[in-house]
Structure 1
Amino acid sequence: MAGLPPLAGLAHWLDTPRSPRTLAVWLSVYLLLAANWPLWRQLAHIGGGAPSLYMPSVLLMAILVMCANTAVLLLFAWSRWSKLIWLLVVVAAALAQHYMLEYRVVMDPGMLANALQTDAGEVRDLLSTTMLSRLAIVVLPAAWAMWRIPVLRMGVLSNAWRNLAMLVVLAVVAAVTIVASNRTLAPLMRNHVGLRYTMNPVASLYSAGKAAAKPLLTRNRKLVPMTAGVHLGASYAGQAKPPMLLLVVGETARADHFSLNGYPRDTTPELAARHVSNWTHATSCGTSTLASVPCMFSPLGKAAFEARSDDYENLMDVLQASGLAVFWLDNQPGGCKGVCDRIPHASAFKGLDAATRKQNCDGDECLDDVMLRGLDERIAALPPERRAKGVVLVMHQMGSHGPAYHLRSSPDAKRFKPECTNNSLADCSHAELINAFDNSIAYTDRFLGKSIDWLKAQQKSYEPAMLYMSDHGESLGEYGLFLHGVPYSFAPDVQKHIPWVMWISDDMRKRGKLAAACLGKSHDEPISHDNLYHTVLGLMDVQTRTYKPSMDVLNECRSPSDA
């Protein structure tokens, strides 16, 4: 081989059969160098930019990532399908690196759980030429090498004990490294929890496995009833008109981009013109729809909800059990995350006529105005005996769902220009990104204004009110982060600080003995999604042992007599 020309020598080297362990090590080295740039960049940032400060941490993490990735690859080094499985691992690593680079997210179980629930429309929003080029750069060299290099065949038992022996060696190397460098490694991992989820692809595979296994592990959970003894309160006795509550669950709206909360841009003129009540310091239960929506409708509160071992009936079950007419209307492709499974519900973008779909929809994604189409007919279709008592309608918005913020507002609502129209946010200026997001907030403001006007038109038959809050916030480049889904314990406030707005008609205010002066002010006390359950029950006068007056945000405005 020494006398061969360079290209011929390379071809001979590539054509030489290698053991599965050798290929696993080489592929692990390749992934270490080609698919871990988010990790190296983060370590450099933590180290302050000086190589002498961050290189020791880089070397330590390189050893650990190398050991972990090689161990993962060895788990599949058993058969002729090894190369195919390894190629899938490379593709997963390339995808994970792209999203970590593009949106500064980490591959924790919550993020992967959201990814597993992504539908075709959301996938389309995430596609970009940047993603395809990054995939090609990482995947194609590895695919070509794996196609060229033959695997050395050996017996099952011989291959098994060799793989096992190498796994033991890897475990020893990792353990020695951790023990020897604990003084450096322990504070690094403790103070920067997100680092463990940038170790690629082992973190992504771990998180995906944990997210996929969660439904299997929770399959035997029982549903704990919360509806025992539920009944309607005294306000329903001899009522002239039944109450109607429109509960709007927003998507990805940031409180600090609402002009109601002091944002310098006038993003919420419609809400301001309708003299709504506004809570300025509301926080979410999670940083993703999957985490927040089930939690906000739970009677347990964030801490107990996350620690639960069984499932519990939620706010919608309690309202349904009280005898009210309850309906959930979804404009969110991911659905209600199980909250509406036991009540009447529908998808807003199903069954639309061609003209409405052409005007409001792009594929299976529609602007939120579609939820106002045919709303009277939807209400009329609910059981009349329930409607006679009262109605609770939930609208689950598409809101400001990213990264395609420009698709979340209609052309006539785009007041801030130029806006980012690229799914690859790095290709847009910060100003264009903010313009696109603010246009989506302005569109939500207009949608809520129209919703209040619809409620006002119902006052001949109902005593209406509206409550709006977002499921979580969004990062728009702060601290180098984009989108949402960062683990709650170290997520920035912009992913947790949400808008909370209420409009209550005079009839509904009098029904609930709510002081007009109290409702007409801006409320600064801290509240959270934990307050939603109790606030809705208090407003609708639904009596149950699970209601806590201290958690009802309207309780401070409630007086013994009509004010």
Structure 2
Amino acid sequence: MSLLKRLLAWFRPDTSRPLTQAWLAALWMGVLANWPLWKQLQTLPGVGIGFTVAFAGMVVVATGAVLSLLAWPRLIKGVLLVLLLGAGALAYFIGSYGIVFDPTMVVNMVQTDMRETRDLLSWKLFTSLLLLGALPAWWLLRRPKAPAQSAGKRLGGNLAGFGLGLVAMVLLALSVFATLSSTMRNNKSIRYMVTPLNAVYSVSSVGVRSLSGPKGPPAVIGADAHLLPRAEGAKPPLLLLVVGETARSMNFSLNGYARPTNPELARLPVVSLRNVTSCGTATAASLPCMFAPQGRAGFDADKPQENLLDVLQRAGLAVLWLDNQSGCKGLCDRVPNSFTAKLPDGAAPLPAGLCHQDDLEGAECFDESLLHELDKRIAALDPERLKRGLVLVMHQMGSHGPAYFKRSPDDLKPFLPECRSNQLQDCERQQVVNGYDNTIATTDRLLARSIAWLQTQSSRFDAGMLYVSDHGESLGENGLYLHGMPYAMAPAEQTHVPMVLWVPEGGALAASLKPGCLAALRDKPASHDNLFHTAMGWVGARADVYKPEWDLLAGCRT
């Protein structure tokens, strides 16, 4: 009878015990919240049901082992509440968009704003949160208080749970070792799909880096920054840097795309570089890297330093950052900066058609608002610096998804029907592409009108424009949507970005370049590594960090 009671206890465990709660939650999250992972495994060659079951067992016991260490009465319910709700959200995003949750994604999440967050909300997300997170959390909170137990005995039980979990994980791994090793080696993204361990690792990694990182002001770079002397009577330079968002090179008709996504730029003397790669696959990774002198291979995000804007300002130039997105990721903290919705004193209000007027979290404006009252914004800058030159940065909302239909105005939707939902996986793929291509056409019009504005400055400045996107986007290829994949495994759709140069004929810069040299750059490999040095060379700034071999125009100068 005693043996029978013990066997029945395994099937009817005391759910008031923290250790029991930890393992039941591990079973729930490991099996149910990882449905996108089980679906993904079944698409891989050589992976059958047997391996999937063994892998699921590994996920459960590994999660149970970790939670065993946290199985204390005053701690476990709070931990499990957060993990269950997080697992419900991750199951939705991984299953819907094919994303992975790694440290870079944590940084993206922390740095996003309410507009971007709103675009990701849906009833499917709330359903996933309810079924996979809120319901088990409600059940957990209703469990009675744990029976009294000495700290030593509870610690012993927790360590036993941890040890048994590790042993079980090792045994399961050994049982499918050949398939496991090849699968993990050839599909590295899987490790970031294991919920909630991916979240625990990624959040912990970002937290440790944040706490252990250097404190104080960013390291100074280009302390010797200066401007080269200009010829007598030469106009000061004006470089417009347009930082695109989520534009991929393969959807630019300038680069061979079959659809006319760049009709206005096609009529202008621009040079579009067709073989450009990004620093990262998300804004938080790419922006700091592309404005740094080291290039992707040498850039360390954990070591704060000054950037291109600091160096140009130290050289004596006027610098202005205009933002129509979620911020500059710290790049513009030490230079004049503003958001499109924050107008200078005496400026005319933004036209109604430029902004969505029904936004609860503040107006979201189309990128064309970056040009609104631009002359007044510039007039507010230091006039002595303006005499030496101006670098103006426009940070777009661009093609940010998943609500692509919000990024193009009603009068500029040449490709219809478009997906009118943030549930991209529920739309026909052609509708998703249509909505995305409309955003590229909108960027095309912004760049053309930016060039038109630059031409109005020709009496004061030797003006030019450099446009480059921060990263690309997946539009359903191989089941992936959006961006943010770890760089080593990211598809070309997320790393192959457009770059467009406009150097007007008759200007001092154009006169200094060899005939036909700019056009020869079209098919040469380039990357975000070139931005820092090309911008410095463009405006005649020099410092010890300047590398002429990374300046795209250096080889063209006579």
* TM-score normalised per structure 2: 0.92
Task: Kindly indicate whether residue 312 of structure 2 is the aligned counterpart of residue 324 of structure 1.
Answer: no
Q: Which residue of 2 aligns with 1:9?
A: none
Provide the C-alpha distance between the structure 2 equivalents of 1:354 and 1:428, rounded to a whole number of angstroms. 40
Task: Kindly indicate whether residue 207 of structure 2 is the aligned counterpart of residue 207 of structure 1.
Answer: no
Match of 2:265 among 267, 271, 275: 271
Which whole-Å deviations, capped at 9, do the CAs of 1:265-320 have from their partners, x for residues lacking one?
100011111110111100100000001000001001111104x7633321111111
Provide the C-alpha distance between the structure 2 equivalents of 1:474 and 1:73, rounded to a whole number of angstroms. 36
Aligned partner of residue 392 in structure 2, secondary structure: strand
- Please state how far the C-alpha of 1:181 moved relative to its aligned partner: 4.2
Q: Which residue of 1 aligns with 2:131?
A: 137
Q: Which residue of 2 aligns with 1:343?
A: 335
Change (3 A) 1:336 1:144: closer
- Please state how far the C-alpha of 1:237 moved relative to its aligned partner: 4.1
Q: 1:366-385 to 2 correspondence within 5 Å?
A: 366-385=365-384
Q: Which runs of 5+ in 2 are unaligned?
A: 1-10
Q: Which residue of 2 aligns with 1:4?
A: none
Aligned partner of residue 419 in structure 2, secondary structure: coil
**Which moved further from structure 2: 115-124 or 257-266?**
115-124
Contact 2:287 2:470 in 1 (8 A): yes
Provide the C-alpha distance between the structure 2 equivalents of 1:288 and 1:187, rounded to a whole number of angstroms. 28
**Which moved further from structure 2: 408-417 or 111-120?**
111-120
Q: Which residue of 2 aligns with 1:233?
A: 228
Match of 2:211 among 209, 216, 219: 216
- The code of the aligned residue for 2:183 comes to L
Provide the C-alpha distance between the structure 2 equivalents of 1:156 and 1:499, rounded to a whole number of angstroms. 64
- Please state how far the C-alpha of 1:108 moved relative to its aligned partner: 0.9
**Which moved further from structure 2: 140-149 or 37-46?**
140-149
Change (3 A) 1:321 1:59: same
Q: Which residue of 2 aligns with 1:27?
A: 25
Provide the C-alpha distance between the structure 1 equivalents of 2:419 and 2:348, rounded to a whole number of angstroms. 28
- Please state how far the C-alpha of 1:96 moved relative to its aligned partner: 0.4
Contact 2:366 2:407 in 1 (8 A): yes
Provide the C-alpha distance between the structure 1 equivalents of 2:70 and 2:351, rounded to a whole number of angstroms. 47
Provide the C-alpha distance between the structure 2 equivalents of 1:324 and 1:512, rounded to a whole number of angstroms. 22
- Please state how far the C-alpha of 1:505 moved relative to its aligned partner: 1.7
Provide the C-alpha distance between the structure 1 equivalents of 2:483 and 2:82, rounded to a whole number of angstroms. 26
Match of 2:84 among 74, 84, 90: 90
Contact 2:31 2:56 in 1 (8 A): no
- The code of the aligned residue for 2:325 comes to Q
Q: Which residue of 2 aligns with 1:291?
A: 285
Q: Which residue of 1 aligns with 2:476?
A: 477
Cα-Cα RMSD: 2.2
Match of 2:253 among 248, 259, 276: 259
- The code of the aligned residue for 2:242 comes to V
Provide the C-alpha distance between the structure 1 equivalents of 2:222 and 2:287, rounded to a whole number of angstroms. 20
Provide the C-alpha distance between the structure 1 equivalents of 2:65 and 2:339, rounded to a whole number of angstroms. 45
Contact 1:15 1:148 in 2 (8 A): no
- The code of the aligned residue for 1:340 comes to C
Q: Which residue of 2 aligns with 1:74?
A: 68
Contact 1:243 1:508 in 2 (8 A): no
- Please state how far the C-alpha of 1:149 moved relative to its aligned partner: 3.6
- The code of the aligned residue for 2:294 comes to L
Change (3 A) 1:221 1:492: farther
- Please state how far the C-alpha of 1:510 moved relative to its aligned partner: 4.5
- The code of the aligned residue for 2:73 comes to S
**Which moved further from structure 2: 176-185 or 542-551?**
176-185
Provide the C-alpha distance between the structure 2 equivalents of 1:397 and 1:181, rounded to a whole number of angstroms. 48
Contact 1:78 1:156 in 2 (8 A): no
Change (3 A) 1:512 1:346: farther
- Please state how far the C-alpha of 1:82 moved relative to its aligned partner: 2.9
Task: Kindly indicate whether residue 187 of structure 2 is the aligned counterpart of residue 192 of structure 1.
Answer: yes
Contact 2:234 2:508 in 1 (8 A): no
Contact 2:367 2:396 in 1 (8 A): yes
Provide the C-alpha distance between the structure 1 equivalents of 2:233 and 2:328, rounded to a whole number of angstroms. 32
Q: Which residue of 2 aligns with 1:315?
A: 308
- Please state how far the C-alpha of 1:421 moved relative to its aligned partner: 1.0
Q: Which residue of 2 aligns with 1:498?
A: 497
**Which moved further from structure 2: 121-130 or 540-549?**
540-549
Aligned partner of residue 497 in structure 2, secondary structure: strand
Task: Kindly indicate whether residue 245 of structure 2 is the aligned counterpart of residue 247 of structure 1.
Answer: no
Q: Which has the higher helix share?
A: 1
Provide the C-alpha distance between the structure 2 equivalents of 1:38 and 1:540, rounded to a whole number of angstroms. 50
- Please state how far the C-alpha of 1:480 moved relative to its aligned partner: 0.6
Contact 2:18 2:73 in 1 (8 A): no
* TM-score normalised per structure 1: 0.91
Provide the C-alpha distance between the structure 2 equivalents of 1:68 and 1:485, rounded to a whole number of angstroms. 26
Task: Kindly indicate whether residue 525 of structure 2 is the aligned counterpart of residue 531 of structure 1.
Answer: no
Match of 2:177 among 177, 182, 186: 182
Aligned partner of residue 266 in structure 1, secondary structure: coil
The count of corresponding residues between Structure 1 and Structure 2 is 540
- Please state how far the C-alpha of 1:390 moved relative to its aligned partner: 0.5
Provide the C-alpha distance between the structure 2 equivalents of 1:258 and 1:168, rounded to a whole number of angstroms. 55
- Please state how far the C-alpha of 1:471 moved relative to its aligned partner: 0.2
Q: Which runs of 5+ in 1 are unaligned?
A: 1-12
Aligned partner of residue 279 in structure 1, secondary structure: strand
Change (3 A) 1:384 1:355: closer
Contact 1:284 1:529 in 2 (8 A): yes
- Please state how far the C-alpha of 1:344 moved relative to its aligned partner: 1.4
Contact 2:80 2:137 in 1 (8 A): no
- The code of the aligned residue for 1:487 comes to P
Provide the C-alpha distance between the structure 2 equivalents of 1:512 and 1:301, rounded to a whole number of angstroms. 29
Contact 1:14 1:149 in 2 (8 A): no
Contact 1:400 1:437 in 2 (8 A): yes
Contact 2:15 2:21 in 1 (8 A): no
Aligned partner of residue 410 in structure 1, secondary structure: coil
Contact 1:243 1:464 in 2 (8 A): yes
- Please state how far the C-alpha of 1:522 moved relative to its aligned partner: 6.1
- The code of the aligned residue for 1:323 comes to G
Change (3 A) 1:429 1:204: same
Provide the C-alpha distance between the structure 1 equivalents of 2:299 and 2:264, rounded to a whole number of angstroms. 35
Contact 1:401 1:408 in 2 (8 A): yes
- The code of the aligned residue for 2:307 comes to N
- Please state how far the C-alpha of 1:165 moved relative to its aligned partner: 1.9
Provide the C-alpha distance between the structure 1 equivalents of 2:110 and 2:513, rounded to a whole number of angstroms. 44
- Please state how far the C-alpha of 1:54 moved relative to its aligned partner: 1.7
Provide the C-alpha distance between the structure 2 equivalents of 1:251 and 1:42, rounded to a whole number of angstroms. 29
Match of 1:170 among 165, 170, 189: 165
Which whole-Å deviations, capped at 9, do the CAs of 1:17-36 have from their partners, x for residues lacking one?
54222222222111122101
Contact 1:331 1:396 in 2 (8 A): yes
Change (3 A) 1:515 1:147: same
Contact 1:222 1:310 in 2 (8 A): no
